[in-house]
């Protein structure tokens, strides 16, 4: 079966890739294991050097890489350029800080000496999504490689061009052969791949359905798993919130990457006293957004990545409207070539509607009125997801008290939820488990080994 790369702005086929056979995948696993034996034996300073080179390669190729992302999955080109820069930053961050994070930690005891060391696990499989086709890979690969593991990438089939270019970046950065390998396989091969003994762990970013499938397979094999899944992040606006920066952040938070982000704000929970003013300003700002060719820097939004995503988003909007929600702006697919959907605001969203209960993966915002601060917190936690949350108020003490009670992996006060190499990133509930980035992320795929000398 061929892996197809399609331009979502036009619907045209960009390229087809032959899927690798099970025999070819088995050979790739063995080569990655052989590479691990030598790679893991290098001093961490030796492993840091190619990470720094990878950052330089990314910056040198930023324009071309950004254009490729825009053509293959529809990301606005300026956002794609920023994504490349972020990948370079995460490589530099771990090249600089990773070695100290993995230094042995002495523990006081009655022994002559006792300490914990952090040893690599081996071959790690990464199952990655299409929406941030470079960043999702580099934020996993940089710490995993620095720690001494080798990586196999099973990327989303629709971004096979991106997968090939990522492998090329690592090769040009002078990583040894087979330390990082991009496989050309579909989802049907993942279960058999995970069952191979030389694959020691797996990380997945994707839907909760994909996470369940991979976690079940990994569980049968007793293999370490990190999952970063969907989100329906609350954006909580309290009565004393600074309206202008709040609305600007709300628009950016919802519409980044054409609304196709796990940590995008999706449910805008606004306290009664400021609801009307926020609704008016937010709707006006969303209405002013320009949708079109993602390579045109004047456009704010591009297409959704696939035709079926437009179909699903349209179903969710229609069902929510039938349930009583009101469309303030947008609400429909854009006719013509490509997979475009109007930037949309839904008012009066209530439990039982898809806009309340499900993740909306596209440029649709759900407005929900809260009676007061406590009601806003209740609504924020009334979801199966728990990835990120944003709280807006002039009262920092109040915000911190609420942040402690929000059920999410990250809470940003008066700011937009985002991933940052310095902070651990991940979720709870149906948003997954485990952490990426920071010192917590680099230790997910190591053997935390106790050594005691009597």
Same fold, 2-229+429-453 and 233-413: no
In this structure, are residues 126 and 141 in contact, taking their beta carbons and an 8 Å threshold? yes
Q: What is the pLDDT tens value at each position of the chain, 454 positions in all?
A: 799 999 999 999 999 999 999 999 999 999 999 999 999 999 999 999 999 999 999 999 999 999 999 999 999 999 999 999 999 999 999 999 999 999 999 999 999 999 999 999 999 999 999 999 999 999 999 999 999 999 999 999 999 999 999 999 999 999 999 999 999 999 999 999 999 999 999 999 999 999 999 999 999 999 999 999 999 999 999 999 999 999 999 999 999 999 999 999 999 999 999 999 999 999 999 999 999 999 999 999 999 999 999 999 999 999 999 999 999 999 999 999 999 999 999 999 999 999 999 999 999 999 999 999 999 999 999 999 999 999 999 999 999 999 999 999 999 999 999 999 999 999 999 999 999 999 999 999 999 999 999 9
207 DSSP 8-state letter: -
- What are the residue boundaries of the structural domains of the chain, listed by start? 2-229+429-453, 233-413
What contacts 358, CB < 8 A, 6 or more positions away?
232, 316
Fold (CATH) for 233-413: Aldehyde Dehydrogenase; Chain A, domain 2 (3.40.309)
What contacts 209, CB < 8 A, 6 or more positions away?
none
Backbone angles phi, psi at 113, to 5 degrees: -160, 150
Per-residue model confidence (pLDDT) at position 292? 98
In this structure, are residues 437 and 230 in contact, taking their beta carbons and an 8 Å threshold? no
Backbone angles phi, psi at 451, to 5 degrees: -125, 125
Per-residue model confidence (pLDDT) at position 384? 98
* Full-model pTM: 0.97
Gyration radius (Cα) of the chain, Å: 22
CA distance 237 to 370: 9
In this structure, are residues 392 and 269 in contact, taking their beta carbons and an 8 Å threshold? no
Per-residue model confidence (pLDDT) at position 297? 98
What contacts 204, CB < 8 A, 6 or more positions away?
126, 127, 128, 210, 211, 214, 225, 226, 227, 228, 229
Within 10 angstroms of residue 109's Cβ, the number of other Cβ atoms is 11
- DSSP-assigned states of every residue in 215-254: HHHHHHTT-EEEEE----EEEEE-TT--HHHHHHHHHHHH
CA distance 330 to 332: 6
Per-residue model confidence (pLDDT) at position 48? 98
Architecture of domain 2-229+429-453: 3-Layer(aba) Sandwich (3.40)
> Cα torsion for 409, 356, 259, 141, to the nearest 10°?
30
Per-residue model confidence (pLDDT) at position 157? 97
Q: Which residues belong to the active site?
A: 228, 262
Length of the chain: 454
Q: Which of 133, 201, 233, 226 is nearest to 432 (CA)?
A: 226
What contacts 21, CB < 8 A, 6 or more positions away?
none
Per-residue model confidence (pLDDT) at position 1? 74
Copy the structure tokens of residue 383.
């979801």
Is residue 406 classed as helix, strand or coil in its secondary structure? coil
CA distance 143 to 101: 10
CA distance 181 to 116: 30
Within 10 angstroms of residue 106's Cβ, the number of other Cβ atoms is 10
In this structure, are residues 175 and 91 in contact, taking their beta carbons and an 8 Å threshold? no
Angle at 421 between CA 131 and CA 91, to 5 degrees: 85
Per-residue model confidence (pLDDT) at position 331? 98
Per-residue model confidence (pLDDT) at position 303? 98
Backbone angles phi, psi at 16, to 5 degrees: -115, 145
CA distance 158 to 399: 41
């Amino acid at each position: 079966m061929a892996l197809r790369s399609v331009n979502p702005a036009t619907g045209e086929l960009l390229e087809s890739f032959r899927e690798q056979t099970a025999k070819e995948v088995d050979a790739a696993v063995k080569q990655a294991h052989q590479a691990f034996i030598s790679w893991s034996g290098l001093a961490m300073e030796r492993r840091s050097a190619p990470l720094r080179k990878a950052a330089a390669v990314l910056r040198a190729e930023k324009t071309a890489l950004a254009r490729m992302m825009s053509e293959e999955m529809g990301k606005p080109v300026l956002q794609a350029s920023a994504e490349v820069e972020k990948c370079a930053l995460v490589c530099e961050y771990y090249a600089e800080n990773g070695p100290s994070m993995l230094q042995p930690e002495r523990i006081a005891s009655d022994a002559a000496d006792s300490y914990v060391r952090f040893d690599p696990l081996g071959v790690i499989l990464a199952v990655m999504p299409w929406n941030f086709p470079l960043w999702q890979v580099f934020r996993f690969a940089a710490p995993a490689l620095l720690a001494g593991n080798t990586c196999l990438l099973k990327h989303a089939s629709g971004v096979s061009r991106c997968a090939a270019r990522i492998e090329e970046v690592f090769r040009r950065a002078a990583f040894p052969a087979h330390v990082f390998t991009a496989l050309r396989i579909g989802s049907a091969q993942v279960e058999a791949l995970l069952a191979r003994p030389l694959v020691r762990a797996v990380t997945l970013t994707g839907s909760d359905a994909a996470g369940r499938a991979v976690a079940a397979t990994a569980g049968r094999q007793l293999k370490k798993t990190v999952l970063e899944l969907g989100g329906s992040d609350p954006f909580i606006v309290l009565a004393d919130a600074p309206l202008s920066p709040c609305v600007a952040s709300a628009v950016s938070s919802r519409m980044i990457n054409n609304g196709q982000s796990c940590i995008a704000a999706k449910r805008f929970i606004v306290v009664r006293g400021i609801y009307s003013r926020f609704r008016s300003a937010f709707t006006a700002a969303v209405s002013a957004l320009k949708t079109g060719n993602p390579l045109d820097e004047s456009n704010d939004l591009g297409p959704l990545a696939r035709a079926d995503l437009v179909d699903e988003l349209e179903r969710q909007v229609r069902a929510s409207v039938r349930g009583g929600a009101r469309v303030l702006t947008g609400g429909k697919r854009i006719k013509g070539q490509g997979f475009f959907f109007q930037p949309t605001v839904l008012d009066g969203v209530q439990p039982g509607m898809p806009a309340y209960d499900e993740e909306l993966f596209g440029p649709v915002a759900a407005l929900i009125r809260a009676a007061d601060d406590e009601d806003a917190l209740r609504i924020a936690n009334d979801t199966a997801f728990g990835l990120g949350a944003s709280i807006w108020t002039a009262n920092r003490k109040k915000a911190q008290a609420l942040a402690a009670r929000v059920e999410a992996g990250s809470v940003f006060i008066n700011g937009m939820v985002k991933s940052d190499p310095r902070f651990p990133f991940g979720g709870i509930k149906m948003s997954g488990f485990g952490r990426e980035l920071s010192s917590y992320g680099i230790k997910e795929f190591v053997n935390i080994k106790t050594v005691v000398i009597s």
